[in-house]
Chains A and B, each alone.
Chain A
Amino acid sequence: MTTTAKVPVPIDKSAEPVAVPRRAALKAPIMLGVVTLLVALLVGLGARAGDTTFQLATDTDFFDLPEITLPSTATVWTLVVLLAACTAASALLASRGRRTPLWLVGLFALLAMTAFLTWAAADESLTVIGLLGGSITLAVPLVFGALGGVLGERAGVVNIAIDGQLLFGAFAAAMVGTLVGSPWGGLVAAMLAGALVALVLGFFAITYFVDQVIVGVVLNVLVIGLTSFLFGQVLTENPDTLNAPEHFSRLPIPVLGQIPVIGPVLFRQTILVYLMYVAVAVVAWALYRTKWGLRVRAVGEHPKAADTVGIKVNRTRYTTLLIAGLVAGAGGATYTLVSVPQFGEEMTDGAGYIALAAVIFGRWDPIRATLAALLFGFASNLQLALSVIGSPVPSQFMLMLPYVVTIIAVAGLVGASRAPAADGVPYRKE
C-alpha cells in the first residue's frame, strides 16, 4: 500500500520551510534603515568634534590592551556607512524572500552602539570594562526574572508577577540573611519567597482558572503592599537585627578573570553572577534536551494532547511554575545581597516588567531572553556611565530605551513570532 503518492497536500501549509512571509522579511531591513537614519541624523545635527577614548584594560590582566583613541566625527561617519551597508544587505536578502540572519542584526547592533558611544563620549574617555561589567551586574535580576518568566510561559502560565517575585525575594533575602547571618541563608530564603509567589499564582491561575494577567498584576500590588507594610511595621523598628544582611563579595575566578576584557567583565563578579551562568545553561538544556522539558513544552503548546498521553497537565504546570519561582526569587536576592546594604520599599522599581519584556523580546527562548536582559542591563548602565561623563542625551531618554525597544519589538519584529500556543489558557479537564 503506497500512501503518499495520492495524498493531496493541502496548500495552506507552506511546503518549503525556508520561505518566510514577505512582510516579516521586510521588517528587518526597515528597522535597520530607521536606526541607520536615526544615527545619521543624531551625528549630523548634533556634530561633536574631538577624540573619543576607549579604555579596555584593568591592572590585573595578563597583558595590557592599549587605549584606543579615535577621531569622533570621522569614526562616526565611517560607522554610519557601515550601518547603511548592513541595511542594504538585509534589504537584498529580503528581496529574495530570505530572513535577515541573526548575526547580521548583531553586527549592526554592535556598530550602531559603537557609533553612538563614539559620538556621545567625544572628547571624553570611556571605560569599556566598567561599562560592560556593570551591565552584567545590573542585568542579574533581569536574567533570573526572565528565565523564570520563560519557564512559566513555556508551560502555559503567563507570569506578570515576576516583579513581585523579585521584590519578595529581595525582602526575604534581607530579612532571613540578617537573621541567620549568612548570605547563603538569604539566597535560599529569596528563592523560597519567589516560589511562594509562584505558588499563589498557580493556585489562582491553575486551580481556579483566574485570568493569569489579572493574578499577576494583583500579585505585584500585593507584594508591594505586603513588603512595604512589613518594612514599615517591623524592619524599620529593628534595622540591625532584621535588615542588615551580610553581602556576597566579589569572587574573581583565577586565570579566567585575568583574560583582558573578558575576564574583568565576566569573571570578576559575585557568586550570584556565576549562578546565573549556570542557571541559563541548565534551563536551556533542560527545556530542549530532557524528558522534563519536552513535557513542559507539550503542556504549554497543547495541554489536551499532553493529557491524552498520560501527562498530568496541571501538576506539570505547578512544578514548572515553582521552579520558575525559585529562579526568579534568586534574582531578587541580588538587590539586598549585592547591590545595596538593606531592603527598601519598592526597591525593584519595576525591574520585573523589564524582565517580562525580555521574555517577549527573547521570544520565549531562554538564551534569547538572557541576551535581551543583558541588553537592557547594558542600557541602564550606559545611562549611568554617560551621566558621569556628562552625556549629550538626557538621562531620561536613556532610561526609556528598554521600554521603547520592547514596544518596537512587540509591534514590529516580534509581532509575527509565536508565543506557546496555550500560553495563558487554563486547562480544564471537563
Chain B
Amino acid sequence: MSTHPPSRPRVAVHKFSSCDGCQLAFLNLGEDLLTLAARVDLVYFAEAGPLDVDTEVDIAFVEGSVSTPEDLERIQRIRAHSRVLVAIGACAVSGGIQGLRNSVDSASWVAQIYDHPAAIASLEHSTPIATHVPVDFELWGCPVTSTQVLGVVNALLLGVSPRDDADKVCTECKRQGHPCVLVTHGIPCMGPVTRTGCGALCPSLGRDCYGCFGPAENANTNALSVQFARLGLDAQAIARRFQSINSQAPVFRLAAERTRTAGDE
C-alpha cells in the first residue's frame, strides 16, 4: 500500500454487523478525541455525526462483519472510495462472535426468532471484510484498543507502514510477570495460541484468556488441546474454547473441527 503522508488525512469509520464496540476506540479517547479531530478530517462516522458516504477518503476504518445482501454492495462502494482500508476488530477480520452461525442452519434460527422471517435480510454466513474486498491492514481484537487505531493513524500521518504484532499473549504476560494461570492454576488459558495486543488483561486478573484477539502466528493448537484434555476438559469443552469470539479464523476453526472429530472416534 502507498504510505506517503497526506497533509490532513480524510478518515471514515464505517459499521457493519457488530456491537459498536470497536468505534469506541475513537469515541472513548476522552479529550484526545478533539486532538484527533484537529489532525484528521472525519468525513464519515455515523455514530459521531458526519455522513458523507461517497467522499474519497485516505483511511477507512471498517468495523463489523458482512452479513446482509446490502452489506455486499456497501463494502464495494467503501473500497472504491478509500485509499487505505483498515478492518478493525474480530467481526471485521474473522466474522466475529456472530460467525458462530456459519456452522448451523441459520435460516431456521430466523424462523424461530421472527414472526415475519421473509422480512429479515440476513446472509447465511457472517464473513470478514477481506472475503469481499482487498484489505490493506487488519487490526485484531474484541474490541480493538485506542492504541491500535491511533497507531495506524499516526503511522500513515508519518508515511510509514503500520506495525503489527502477531506474537502470543504469553510473551506479554511473561513481560508483565503474571503467574501463569495455565501452569500454576490449571486453568485452560488460550494465551499460548492467542495474538497479543490486549495487554494480557485476563491473566492480570488471574483468569484464562479466551482468545478475543484471534490466533497468534505459529499457534500450536494441537499441543494446547492435549494440555486442555489433561486438565480434564472433554472434547466438546475443548472445541468450545476455539469456537468463541473468533470461531471462523481458520486456525481456530480447524482446531475445533479436529477436536470434535477426535472426540467422535
- On whether the two chains bind one another, the answer is no
